[in-house]
Structure 1
Amino acid sequence: MRITVLGPWGAYPKAGDATAGYLIEYDNRSMLVDCGSGVLAQLQKYKPVYALNSVLISHRHYDHVADLGCLQYACLIDADLDHRREALPIYIAEEPERELQFKPMKGSGIERIYAGGRLTEGELEVSFFKTFHEAYCVGMSFSYKGKKAVYTADTYYDDSLIMHCADADVLIAETSFYADMKDARNYGHMNAAEVGRLAKEAGVRKVVLTHLPHFGSVPQLASEVADVYDGEIVTAYSGLNLDV
């Protein structure tokens, strides 16, 4: 399983870059996780849109869905050109009682996912767990041939996250604030010290810092995580490849 970071930024993309987006490739299949601002352009550096087999969306905030409408337009055009013969399944996390923001369109379908649910595609199994954010949001645990990768999506720190991240080969963790931001919880996000604590308590082998802030010195985040966690630490950037 290869994971390529398409966008590492929170809130909005830096010039020429993207917010949340991750390409997962396995067994000649391709899955897109989140589709933030700039992700569609980044994706096409690696795959044509019609090569995607599925899309998972962690929550409805714009930095995770800004390019989703354009992705649906691309699927429509691909369907008209006969590049795509089956509708692209787009799975969006949302509470059962809330209407989904996006609707099916020619070339793409919309389905709901939720905490506690599972999705199996070939030898890849994805389980969804509750995170703690303003909008309804799910983290994702990917299991493939005995390997495990976990994506926290957006969340503040909570001890319940530890069991979902436990023993991950790779933990892709939102790191929105520096360690001195003690009230990160109020914003629905984690600071670097909390990411270090989560990685340490979960016993993960590698932590990848993502959903990065636009202020301060970003390299400082890794050093602050290292004050708590002694495993491998990588700061995400567009084009980063993770082989799991």
Structure 2
Amino acid sequence: MRLTVLGGCGAWPTADQACSGYVVEHEGFRLLIDPGYATLPRLLAHSTVDSVDAVLVSHGHPDHCADLNPLLRARGLSDVPPPALPLHAPHGALDAVLALDKPSMLAAAYLLHEFSPGDRFEIGPFTVGTRLLPHFVPNAGLRISTPEAVLMYTGDTGPSEDIPRLAEGADLFLSEATYVHEVPSPGDAPYLLTARLAGRYAQQAGAARLLLTHLWPGTDPAAALEAAAFPGPALIAAPDLVIDL
């Protein structure tokens, strides 16, 4: 299994960093996870739009799914459209982004498969386990596995003891870390995570490696890694970072 980071910026993209977006590959199958703002140009730096075999979205916030629209446009409006793209997302999560164009314009470009967090299903060579994790909208934590490797991705989440359970023994724990030590707004604290907690959960899960993502724009990456205090290999999600599991 190979993970390529397209972006890992929280909330909005910056000049140097797209929002959440990741490509996971195994046996020639490419799964695009969370095509957030500005991820399509990064995807095109690595491959073509018709090389994506399926899309998996953790939740419906635009910094995790907005670039699905230009991806579907590029596929559906091409001279020779590729087959309909399977989209996997929690119920209703893609309603807004799919409504950006009239239904008939891109209807043939995708096949929507909605799930409820807690479901387990297959996407190509991947087995996907999901769990509802706390956020402002329904968010699915994702455990993506092959016989050889396990990737756990939190999506966006607040503190939850379900996180280390879902990440148990993962080869790579990809965790949101919006803030470094604490969430500044008490009202947001149940729905966002810190680097400090991400590191703690990774240790509890016995994860082999930690990859912090969704840092608030302007956050010092070194400070986030220091706060995580993870004893194993730890990195910050940065464009074009490639990790082999």
Q: TM-score, normalised by structure 2?
A: 0.90
Which amino acid is the alignment partner of residue 127 of structure 1? Answer: G
Determine if the alignment matches structure 1 residue 197 to structure 2 residue 200.
Answer: yes
Superposition pairs of residues 64-213 of structure 1, within 5 angstroms: 64-78=64-78, 81-84=79-82, 86-94=83-91, 100-101=95-96, 102=98, 105-181=107-183, 183=186, 186=189, 188-213=191-216
Query: Residues 140-180 of structure 1: CA distance to partner in whole angstroms, max 9, x if unpaired?
Result: 11111231110010001111222111010000000100114
Partner of residue 102, structure 2: none
Residue 221 of structure 1: CA displacement?
0.3
Which amino acid is the alignment partner of residue 125 of structure 1? Answer: T
Q: Distance in 2 between matches of 1:66 and 1:187?
A: 24
Which amino acid is the alignment partner of residue 100 of structure 1? Answer: D
Partner of residue 36, structure 2: 36
Matched residue SS, 2:240:
coil
Query: Residues 174-205 of structure 1: CA distance to partner in whole angstroms, max 9, x if unpaired?
Result: 01001144758526111111111101111101
Partner of residue 236, structure 1: 237
Q: Distance in 1 between matches of 2:239 and 2:33?
A: 14
8 Å CA contact retained: 1:94, 1:137? no
Q: Distance in 2 between matches of 1:184 and 1:222?
A: 25
Matched residue SS, 1:212:
coil
Runs of at least 4 residues off by over 6 Å:
none
Moved more, 16-25 or 5-14: 16-25
Which amino acid is the alignment partner of residue 56 of structure 1? Answer: L
Q: Distance in 1 between matches of 2:187 and 2:197?
A: 9
Q: Share of identical aligned residues, percent?
A: 27
Q: Distance in 2 between matches of 1:214 and 1:150?
A: 23
- Number of equivalences: 237
Which amino acid is the alignment partner of residue 165 of structure 2? Answer: M
Query: Residues 65-123 of structure 1: CA distance to partner in whole angstroms, max 9, x if unpaired?
Result: 12111111112123xx2251x2001112236xx89332662221222122121221343
Moved more, 230-239 or 113-122: 113-122
Q: Distance in 2 between matches of 1:124 and 1:99?
A: 22
Note the aligned Cα RMSD (angstroms).
1.9
Q: TM-score, normalised by structure 1?
A: 0.91
